């Protein structure tokens, strides 16, 4: 029986048995299991298969700490500069012996998954001669049944982790051939998807309305624009990784070809403390290090200036691991009204 079909039957069995577990048509081992998400949402704080310091029924789910993430209603995820994407699925500890028994036996009892598959499963998990070893109960506290977890947005490849549950003693590596077994790097890549950066609305001077041929200064306030990070961990394995996004440059698109940017490339590099330079009295005759000059009026409307920040993404993890991940970008438009300078004739 194909592995992809089995969970569908398993779901039907659980529903027939009155189970409260909600299942999707995941591959074998990729079910959601008992309550507790396997891939977090976008809020701040700590989330995942944990309730405070207590793990939920799913043994090895990833816990995300977003307390150092970007905040605010306009905060959003970065877009990778390449075609790279975080893992669509991965393997990690999922059940203790007792938890896996509680999950599988109602499926078998419902008899809706077929005799052949039920018999195969019982052969794998039960020990007729020594029932105390059913589901590896004699190894409780010495390891976990591993299974697959799925990115809940179901990107391409979400169904590739189709191996059935397998046992791993604590401290041992997963069996050879298991691709995407959770590691600090995989945690870092999953934390990448949880990064939220603040809005890229830039400060302009003059503010509100600017004039044709008048250089407009642009900058991002250092107090509001700083690195953000998310930490992902698997508590039962004692591994974690922190992914950090640091703003490195700002690209300005004036919203019209009739404009000149400063610098000419339109890309303002970070100075370490801020991007761009605040306008101060006495700088009216100077060229802004970061800004724009409009060459015509916006008329009765406005120009949709777009500010896009490039974020450098790095990570550090258990075992002194760490590296770069693809840069990310996040942008937002803001309307700029440009007026002609009126001359007074006497």
Give me the percent of the chain exceeding a pLDDT of 90: 62
Helices and strands, number each (H, E), in the chain: 4, 19
Whole-number pLDDT of residue 343? 53
Point out which residues pair with 322 in neighbouring strands: 316
Q: CA geometry: angle at 11 spanning 9 and 16, to 5°?
A: 95
Task: Give the DSSP letter string of 69-106.
Answer: S--STT-B--EESSS----SEEEEEEE-HHHHHHHHHH
Q: How many residues does the chain have?
A: 346
Residue 90 has pLDDT above 80, yes or no: yes
Question: Region 174-182: what's the mean pLDDT?
Answer: 92
The tokens describing 114, both together, are 């077929």
- Residue given tokens 């503010």 in the structure block: 207
Q: CA geometry: angle at 99 spanning 96 and 100, to 5°?
A: 85
Point out which residues pair with 291 in neighbouring strands: 217, 262
d(CA 195, CA 227): 11
Lowest mean pLDDT among 218-222, 286-290, 319-323: 218-222
The tokens describing 148, both together, are 């697959």
Sequence-distant (6+) residues with CB within 8 A of 143 are 136, 167, 168, 169, 170, 172
Whole-number pLDDT of residue 188? 97
User: Does this model's pTM top 0.85?
Assistant: no
Residue 327 has pLDDT above 90, yes or no: yes
Average pLDDT score, the chain: 82
- Burial zone of 296 (CB within 10 Å; 0-12 exposed, 13-18 middle, 19+ buried): middle
d(CA 57, CA 54): 10
d(CA 295, CA 293): 6
Whole-number pLDDT of residue 47? 46
Residue 139 to residues 65, 143, 167, 234, Cα–Cα distance (Å):
31, 7, 10, 20
d(CA 70, CA 226): 9
- Residue given tokens 């938890």 in the structure block: 99
Whole-number pLDDT of residue 19? 30
Residue 263 has pLDDT above 60, yes or no: yes
- Burial zone of 31 (CB within 10 Å; 0-12 exposed, 13-18 middle, 19+ buried): buried
CB 202 within 8 A of CB 221: no
Check residue 136 and give left, alpha or beta (phi > 0: left; psi -120 to 50: alpha): left
Print burial letters for 249-270: b (CB count within 10 Å at least 16), e (below 16): bbbbbbbbeebebbeeebbbeb
Whole-number pLDDT of residue 60? 63
Residue 89 has pLDDT above 90, yes or no: yes
CB 268 within 8 A of CB 217: no
Question: Region 275-292: what's the mean pLDDT?
Answer: 91
Q: Chain centroid to CA 264: how far?
A: 34
d(CA 95, CA 55): 11
Sequence-distant (6+) residues with CB within 8 A of 299 are none
Between 300 and 117, the higher pLDDT residue: 300
pLDDT digits (tens, 9 = 90+) for 14-69: 333 333 232 222 333 334 333 222 333 334 444 444 332 223 334 568 999 999 99
Whole-number pLDDT of residue 69? 93
Residue 265 to residues 65, 70, 110, 261, 271, Cα–Cα distance (Å):
37, 28, 66, 7, 17
H helix runs in the chain, sequence order: 6-16, 97-110, 115-125, 184-194
Question: Region 155-170: what's the mean pLDDT?
Answer: 94
């Amino acid at each position: 029986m194909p592995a992809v079909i089995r969970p569908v039957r398993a779901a039907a069995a659980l529903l027939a048995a009155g189970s409260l577990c909600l299942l999707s048509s995941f591959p074998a081992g990729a079910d959601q299991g008992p309550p507790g998400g396997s891939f977090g949402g976008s809020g701040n704080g700590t989330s995942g298969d944990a309730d405070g310091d207590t793990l939920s029924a799913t043994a090895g789910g990833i816990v995300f700490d977003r307390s150092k993430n970007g905040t605010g209603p306009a905060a959003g995820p970065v877009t990778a500069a390449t075609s790279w994407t975080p893992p669509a699925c991965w393997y990690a500890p999922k059940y203790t012996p007792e938890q896996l028994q509680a999950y599988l036996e109602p499926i078998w009892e419902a008899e809706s998954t077929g005799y052949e598959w039920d018999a195969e499963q019982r052969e794998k998990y039960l020990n007729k001669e020594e029932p105390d070893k059913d589901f590896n109960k004699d190894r409780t506290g010495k390891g976990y049944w591993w299974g697959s977890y799925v990115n809940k947005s179901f990107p391409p490849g979400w169904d590739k982790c189709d191996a059935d549950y397998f046992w791993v003693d604590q401290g041992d590596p997963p069996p050879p051939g298991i691709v995407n077994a959770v590691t600090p790097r995989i945690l870092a890549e999953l934390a990448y998807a949880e990064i939220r950066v603040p809005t890229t609305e830039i400060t302009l001077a003059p503010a509100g309305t600017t004039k044709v041929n008048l250089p407009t200064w642009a900058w991002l306030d250092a107090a509001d624009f700083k690195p953000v990070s998310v930490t992902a961990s698997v508590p039962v394995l004692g591994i974690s990784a922190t992914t950090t996004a640091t703003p490195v440059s700002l690209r300005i698109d004036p919203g019209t070809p009739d404009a000149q940017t400063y610098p000419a490339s339109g890309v303002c590099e970070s100075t370490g403390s801020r991007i761009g330079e605040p306008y101060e009295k006495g700088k009216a005759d100077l060229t802004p290090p970061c800004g724009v000059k409009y060459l015509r009026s916006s008329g009765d409307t406005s120009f949709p200036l777009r500010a896009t920040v490039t974020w450098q993404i790095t990570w550090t993890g258990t075992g002194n691991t760490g590296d770069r991940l693809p840069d990310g970008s996040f942008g937002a438009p803001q309307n700029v009204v440009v007026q002609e300078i009126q001359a007074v004739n006497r």
